[in-house]
Structure 1
Amino acid sequence: MKTFFTWSMLCLLVTISCNANNKPNSDLAFQKEKNHLIQTTKTDPNTRNIQVALLLDTSNSMDGLIDQAKAQLWEIVNELSYAKCGHNKIKLEIALYEYGNDGLPSQEGFIRQVLPFSDDLDEISKELFALTTNGGNEYCGKVINTSINQLGWKKNNDHLKLIFIAGNEPFTQGPVDYKDAATDALEKDITINTIFCGNYRQGIETMWKHGADITTGEYSAIDHNRETVHIATPYDDIILKLNHKLNGTYIYYGRQGAQKRQLQAEQDSNARSYSSANAVSRTVSKSSGFYKNKSWDLIDAAEDEAFEVEKVAKDELPKELKGKSKAELKQYIAEKSKTRKEIQQKIKELNKKRVLYIKENSKKDDTNLEAALLNAIKKQGRKKSFSWEE
């Protein structure tokens, strides 16, 4: 029973739906309010989902892996934002689990669902940065089985449904046989990708490759202790200044609006804690179609035809908007929306130059978490008619 930590990164895993587990009554009331303001939309036949469940082992030896996940999150999101699938709209959902930590309930197999499938990128970042490590038992088959049963996986096989599990202990441990869990995933068209933190041959010998092979997933071995290198570019300072202007276009509303606005600022700070270049990557993500905040931002909410701004309680608006009429509010929202789009377009144009500069001034690295995730996602996405282009 060695102390390690295998994580499930990007973890991904989670759409605030299904198991928005154990929420207090106040949160349930908030959800009802959201449903009243913004009608719950049925599955759009013209939408293709990329569902990523990240299973992270948070035992002691995995601190480096968690650091990579935090440092590389936004570049991964940015690369995925270039996804195309015919004329369909692409939606990214990430769920996150941790396992292999003595601080987790033993009766649950030392497993915790950190987030169900979610498209709330700020919430995903928050939970990722909150992860800590501790010694424990790493049960790969159990956490895979749990994620399959708990999460709201799409039933239609046109969607890209992926599990990523990372760790460094034998894949065979625990009460659930990994072969049974993988067979269940295969039947549900969910692909398991395994990331062994250590020697490539050792990962094969401890069945990490076989765990992926059953669902024709990808097996990778990475150096989880390698520090992420962020390349600074001549465009970074300009993009960060635009981020400040971009933040000024968000208009919170609702009972949790101010809190979510603060969360946005906190995740900007978390990104900066790794480097200015990482903060730039997050800013680029905020200019993509994946960064939407309809539950608390009036600009994003107004894109939904079912949204009625007049139904938002005046005392749940920012101070400067409480005295405005319905017509004045709509005009204000329209102006802010126009400004946001202009800023986001400038960021995108600068980012094209930034990406080119990074390519010309860095060496390709296939031994980190970002490379393992993106290589697998793109390869498996092509099988379902997804393509990637900037």
Structure 2
Amino acid sequence: MRRPAMLNRMNKISASLLLCVLLGTSVADSVLANPNSEGTEHSRKVDVVIALDVSGSMSGLIASAKQRLWDIVNELGRAQPQPQLRISIVSYGNPEYGADTGFVRIDLPFTSDLDAVNQTLFGFSTNGGDEYVARVVSTSVSQLAWSAEQDALRILFVAGNEAATQDPLISVRQATQLANARGIVVNTIYCGNANDSLAAGWREVASMTNGLYASIDQNSAAVANIATPMDEKLTKLNQALNDTYIAYGEAGERYRENQLDQDRNAGAMSSSAIASRVVTKAGKLYDSSKWDLVDAVNSGKALEEIEVENLPVPMQAMDNEEREAFVKEQAGKREALQAKIRELGKDRRAFIENVRKKQAGSAPKRLDEVIQKGLKSLAEAKGFTFEDE
């Protein structure tokens, strides 16, 4: 965090906020409602694993995942009741992972930190190797800490382009039996022609857990990019939104820098990618409470519970009333910005849907399209509904 900017913001605590302090209004009472502050009693667990083939021929698949992550999250962000989303990233097909693992690696255990998810995707590179789909399924099922709640939604997406049945040690049937025993739905995405002989094996894996199968063009990420008149406005609002974050704790600055890094990563992909990410940051699934004071307070954490030495240096010199006033001011700014972003996000979504209707039947299926439809279908089967429908 830039210290001068922090000092400037702190020097601008408004008279109205100080009045709140004089009247005895606390941050807990007065912080404006945040999309992340909804009670967890009205939410449900949703665990999603995205397993990607990172063998030499899959550079297009990796690019698609980097490009479209935020569209996938935004689709789930429309669900009611509010999902408690956790995502895990698994990769397979890289010989460096070792034959003893079946060339499978859990790159990121389940997390609600969406910046960490994006960071993991941007760390991928491709390398030729053997791809064992059954091993991906069995490893993901047995080695990840899936939610045990009865009404949780547990979904595994596996994407690749080789035969799904070539694992020499674990059969597709064995792997899917493990998934069924844990209530995990396996969805398969074959990166190839639906009429290929290999497609049948991918269909079989999905059918054994009542999952969904789809075939896609792994190189369709560029085709999916639709620039909108809202993109530039969203990018500018994001700059102001970032100034409302107050990093705290030993790792706060590291998380803050990673947030900015992932903004840059998305921006380097396309105007569409950064615009989608900005919409995510204004939604209920983007939670920074473990490092940002505004989200922490909105999530129920008392400002007084935080050790003074874990606060930003300028805040350490403040008394409790001044700290509360400053956090409240930043919360108010953030809510106002997020409201503008959400409205632009709705307009942007409508614009994109209109373009895609015109493209219907001519554009190839995309990774994000398949995952979004899969998530929506399975969520609705579990009793979720989606806004604007």
Which bracket does the TM-score occupy, shorter chain normalised? 0.7 to 0.9
SS of the equivalent of 1:207 reads: helix
Q: Deviations over 1:57-89 (max 9, x none)?
A: 11000000000000011111111100113xxx3
Q: Does 1:360 align with 2:360?
A: no
Matched, 1:152 2:148: no
Residue 34 of structure 2: aligned partner = none
Aligned length: 344
Name the CA distance, whole Å, in 2 between partners of 1:48 and 1:304: 16
Residues 205 and 266 of structure 1: CA distance in aligned 2, closer, same or farther (over 3 Å) = closer
TM-score, normalising length: structure 1: 0.85
Gaps of 5+ in 1: 1-42
Q: Structure 2: which amino acid aligns with 1:117?
A: F
Q: Which one of 357, 361, 367 corresponds to residue 369 of structure 1?
A: 367
1:172 is aligned to 165
Measured in 1, the distance between the counterparts of 2:45 and 2:365 equals: 27
CA apart distance, 1:329: 0.8
Alignment partner, residue 327 of structure 1: 321
Query: How many Å separate the matches in 1 of 2:216 and 2:176?
Result: 22
Question: Which protein has the larger Cα radius of gyration, Structure 1 or Structure 2?
Answer: 2
- Report how far residue 48 of structure 1 moved: 0.9
The answer for the alignment partner of 2:110 in structure 1 is 117
Q: Shift of the alpha carbon at 1:311?
A: 3.9
CA offset digits 1:92-113 (Å, max 9, x no partner) = 1110111110111322221111
Partner deviation per Cα, 1:43-63 (whole Å, 9 max, x = no partner): 955421221111111100000
Kindly indicate whether the alpha-carbon contact (under 8 Å) linking 1:203 and 1:209 is maintained by their aligned counterparts in 2: no
Letter aligned with residue 387 of structure 2: E
Give the TM-score, by structure 2 length: 0.85
**Distance in 2 between the 1:161 and 1:217 partners?**
11
Structure 1 contact 204–210 (Cα < 8 Å) conserved = no
CA distance in 2, matches of 1:123, 1:106: 27
Preserved contact between residue 293 and residue 301 of structure 1 (Cα < 8 Å): yes
Q: Which moved more, 1:178-187 or 1:355-364?
A: 355-364
Q: Name the counterpart of 1:318.
A: 312
Q: How has the CA–CA distance of structure 1 residues 312 and 44 changed in structure 2, closer, same or farther, with 3 Å as cutoff?
A: closer
Question: CA 1:347/1:161 → structure 2, altered by over 3 Å: closer, same or farther?
Answer: same
CA RMSD of superposed structures (Å): 1.7
Compare relative contact order (CA 8 Å, sep 6+) and give the higher one, 1 or 2: 2
Amino acid at match of 1:66: I
Alignment-derived partner of residue 244 in structure 1: 239
Give 1:372 shift: 1.0
Q: Percent identity?
A: 37
What is the distance in 1 between the residues matched to 2:277 and 2:95? 32
Q: 1:76: which partner in 2?
A: 72
- 2:114, 2:286 within 8 Å by CA — same for their partners in 1? yes
Q: Distance in 2 between matches of 1:162 and 1:117?
A: 12
Query: 1: distance between equivalents of 2:293 and 2:207?
Result: 46
Separation of aligned partners in 2, 1:231 and 1:320: 43
The alignment partner of 1:254 has SS state of coil
C-alpha distance in structure 1 between counterparts of 2:205 and 2:103, whole Å: 20
Q: Of Structure 1 and Structure 2, which has the larger fraction of its residues in helix? A: 2
Output aligned runs, 1:35-54, within 5 Å. 46-54=42-50
Contact 2:95 2:130 in 1 (8 A): yes
1:200 match: secondary structure: coil
1-structure distance, mates of 2:143, 2:108: 11
Q: Aligned residue for 2:250?
A: 255
Question: Which residue in the other structure is 1:59 paired with?
Answer: 55
| Unpaired runs of at least 5, structure 2 | 1-38
SS of structure 2 residue aligned to 1:154:
coil
